[in-house]
Amino acid sequence: GFGTGLNLMAVLAEQARLNTSCQIDYISFEARPLSVDTIENAHRPFPEIAGFSEQMRAQWPRRWPAVHSFQMGGGRVSVQLYYGRAETILPFVNFYADIWFLDGFSPRRNPDLWSEMVMNEVGRLSSDAARLATFTVASAVRAGLSSAGFMLEKKAGFGKKRDMLVAIKKS
């Protein structure tokens, strides 16, 4: 899920840090879009992304189901934000992702997003050697991603998250 957009902010910050002009297509899904005020509050503790946050909030789409597109980072990042449930959208899209930031909520909190069907769609939509990360390390998630063709590694998490899962798609 797109959530507050912190993963997008991290991508923009890293692109700026590297001073690269590479073009990034950032595709994300969000079933429960947040308000601009909620996003602003979530970004406040991170002053280093203030400019990116302001730029995104200025373009923030209305909260109705659709694909919303906007540009970030001087046009170097093209964002396609699908408002709706990923499990109903994924079977109808075609792209090849090099990197996935998967939802951080456990299967208990968000069971539909961690279904076998969704994990298979993530596998189908992944390029060879695609990488992913999530703070969910539940055994069902590990099994689903492994079945979808990913080699997994459990690592130390960040902040209050004890563990995280990283993976690479087997070629």
Q: Report residue 157 as tokens.
A: 């998490």
The per-residue pLDDT for range 101-149, each reduced to its tens digit, is: 998 778 888 888 899 999 999 999 999 999 999 988 999 999 999 999 9
- State the pLDDT at residue 118: 95
Task: Express each pLDDT in 13-27 by its tens digit.
Answer: 999 999 998 999 999
What pLDDT is stored for residue 77 in this prediction?
Answer: 97
What pLDDT sits at residue 92?
A: 96
Task: Tell how strand 77-83 and strand 66-72 pair up.
Answer: antiparallel
pTM beyond 0.75, yes or no: yes
